Amino acid sequence: MNMILIAIILTFVALLISTITDLKKREVPDYISYGLIFIAFAIAVIYSIINWEYIYLAQSVMGLIVGIIIAYTMFYLGQWGGGDSKLIMGIGAIMGFNIFNLFNINIFGENNFWLLIMLANIIFFGAAYGLAWSIVLAIKNRKVFIKSLDSWIHKREILMARRIIMAAVIIILIILFTIVPQEYRILLLSFTAILYITFYVWIFVKIIEETCMIKDIPVGRLTEGDWIYKEVRVGKKYITGPKDLGVSREQITELKRYCAKGKIKTVTIKEGIPFIPAFLLAFVATVIIYYISAGVL
């Protein structure tokens, strides 16, 4: 069987299982991510031996490295949880990447841009999916959301920001229709619209976070990688907090120990959006692009 087809099937199965667990439990089992990495290297070694060509193993290693770089970047920026980050490492290993053949005309030649195209799709589908999920949350919690919205838009700093944004838009529009050549006007007008819309999308997302994603949960329900919203201390001893970018297994064990002693009952977390479905959508789009480029579809 073609190595690319094997990679497609294995990645799809892994993403489908991960999507189900992410939606149900808000976590991705480590055995899926690590299993994907192990299987990727096993297949790469087999193909390298059969064809007596190192490139299969090299592509898998390079794909893993790219996955690790992206995973750590997104994790430390607070955009992805630990499960999301580990899964992208596994996907990188199974899909592969060939840094030595970047300028091949065939974008899918020797796994050149499989990973990069999927990452571009993740950005697109992730943004659309995240916005759609936030809108659903706003509708489900509309009373609290509307109350918080009214409070937010009347904040002093928000009112000031709105005036600055509006002044910037007016200045840009004046420049647009008096100085800027006609051929550049659409580009500048698009930039102005994006600037204006982005500000209100940011407000919308912040309100959603405050009203729908900040929750107090029992210590026993904590899972590794949960984002702690408020610092947890016992006396003067620091246990965990927002700066940790996800609670560790050791910290959960310590929290449970203090919980058993009656010193801690709940922990405030920021519940993230289950993002793996966006990975699945991005992967399906990548496969469709591949088959279209190959002339199959």
Are 18 and 60 contained in the same domain? yes
Are 152 and 224 contained in the same domain? no
């919308």: which residue's tokens?
Answer: 204
Residue 251 has pLDDT above 60, yes or no: yes
Closest CA to 138 of 66, 80, 213: 213
Q: How far apart are CA 81 and CA 223, in angstroms?
A: 11
Helix 156-178 vs helix 142-153: angle between axes, to the nearest 10 degrees? 70
Q: How confident is the model at residue 22 (pLDDT cuts 50, 70, 90)?
A: confident
Quick check: is 264 in a domain?
A: yes
The CATH number linked to 87 is: 1.20.120.1220
Amino acid at 119: L
Quick check: is 132 in a domain?
A: no
Question: In angstroms, how far is CA 70 from the centroid of its own chain?
Answer: 10
Are 44 and 150 contained in the same domain? no
Q: How many separate domains does the chain show?
A: 3
Residues paired with 217 in a beta bridge: 267
């600055």: which residue's tokens?
Answer: 164
Residues paired with 270 in a beta bridge: 214, 227
Quick check: is 77 in a domain?
A: yes
Vertex 286 angle, CA 17 and 271, to 5°: 45
Are 13 and 109 contained in the same domain? yes
Q: How confident is the model at residue 17 (pLDDT cuts 50, 70, 90)?
A: very high
Instruction: Return the beta strands (E) in the chain as ranges.
Output: 214-218, 227-228, 232-234, 237-240, 266-270
Q: How confident is the model at residue 109 (pLDDT cuts 50, 70, 90)?
A: very low
Average pLDDT over residues 236-251: 82
User: Longest C-alpha distance within the chain, in Å?
Assistant: 72
Q: What is the pLDDT of residue 280?
A: 92
The percent helix, strand, coil of the chain (3-state, each to 5) is 75, 5, 20
Q: What is the pLDDT of residue 1?
A: 53
Are 249 and 262 contained in the same domain? yes
Average pLDDT over residues 93-120: 62
**Which structural domain, as residue segments, surrounds residue 185?**
138-212
